[in-house]
Structure 1
């Protein structure tokens, strides 16, 4: 039952966010794998629209935070409010206490805000003063950042980047898709456009997550998954150029994330086992923000995606 509901939600998202099937699949994988998602792309590619559509398809609360350079930690976590009638301080919850958080232009916030968000993402809790408050069981941060502007932005620290399950890079749609977007924006009914399905309950989501963890993965596929991550730390075993390009490889958290995402993708496709193709399809999304390239790579114009594509070709597939 949960699988059918997720498929219905997937179809609905694809009818609302045209030409971005990898993005909509990534949203559902993040929900199933209980992780956070970082989305990078130019303005106007329906990032906010997609998150709004996802939030409407789930039973839970949604809040959008517009990150700015003058944002304070209390603006996202909440703060203690003094009540003069009782003479006591009462904690006023901030927007992080919702189920789905859209952190818009996350790289515009200063370090103190990033630190508060990091605790929420990593520990599923926030600390204000001497008190720690747990966040809801269903909690997911969907962060966006604009790669075109550098002024007024703060690069995300590696420790925080590592907390994101995946990073999805969006690009402009094709001409025929853009024509459909134009018609959809005018309010025209498109062929294949669907009504919103019944929202998924939180219990359905938790049940689906349990099923995802039970997906079978053969030992040879497990070893292949681990070798793909190890290759980012020991690239000299595969290619001398890779050794010059990679300064630091991915952490064990990447191995765990790759495992969860591959299982979630198999479950979404209606299978009870993971194939090497599942791992390959999510490999770049899981690792592109976790590897640190050298100055030589930047000088050569090498991107993380190029490095990961090369590794996929070098590591033998079972």
Structure 2
């Protein structure tokens, strides 16, 4: 009887997801029940349904034409881009040898120091980040504020990022999320789950890739990105569930050598498939500033309000948006 119930539930979620995906393709909106069914099916099928759906996402899309690209990831040939994608496919992440240029680092840190951000805990109203007396373990900047910054605009239309995302995800990936946040070691009573400092996997979209840029030096004591190598490809049944998971459970099913702490100097750039198990290690000292850009095969999934077009979006940025029109089709207002 239990097997029949399980089969019936899976069939229900598959129908929910399929109908919701069809509705998304017609209307451009994801029904929440379809999104939740996708998350459930990911766990019950070990990601197989997502693999099929990602292939459907990419049907009838032509690629952006790249041969050699130049950008924040360096000068990359077609072979370089393929090698980077293969590295992510094998391990779940890639660390780029070329850091972000110093001028961009300075401008982004300056922005984050003076722009108001939103505490992730407590009253969620914009405040200036005070590292000496923090009121939250995490402070997030809004998508709108990030898009209106000219330095960030230059990153969002960077062809090296889009070329690597396309190689990994498939033709014409969409930009679906931009984020920047402060993490602090001085906040007392940190909720580790709220601060994403317990292992978990992300599943906002069907298939996606995140680029992280360290905007402060990151060593083992101030919040390195922790990743279980290979966990984007295989999740044993014992830990294949939606939610936060304790280290001990994961250590029982993955080899010790697969647990990676990714440290790096300011400007370090990572590409990570966070469908694999990951967390931010709790900070013991200093603060940490992190910038993130996420690409996906489509906007099916979690809803985020679109960024509004205004006079702060520069002409150069809008030229890049026009060049990569499909990439920005879901995140920018019409």
Per the normalisation by structure 1, the TM-score is 0.28
Rg: which structure is higher? 1
Per the normalisation by structure 2, the TM-score is 0.27
- The structure with the largest helix share of the pair is 1
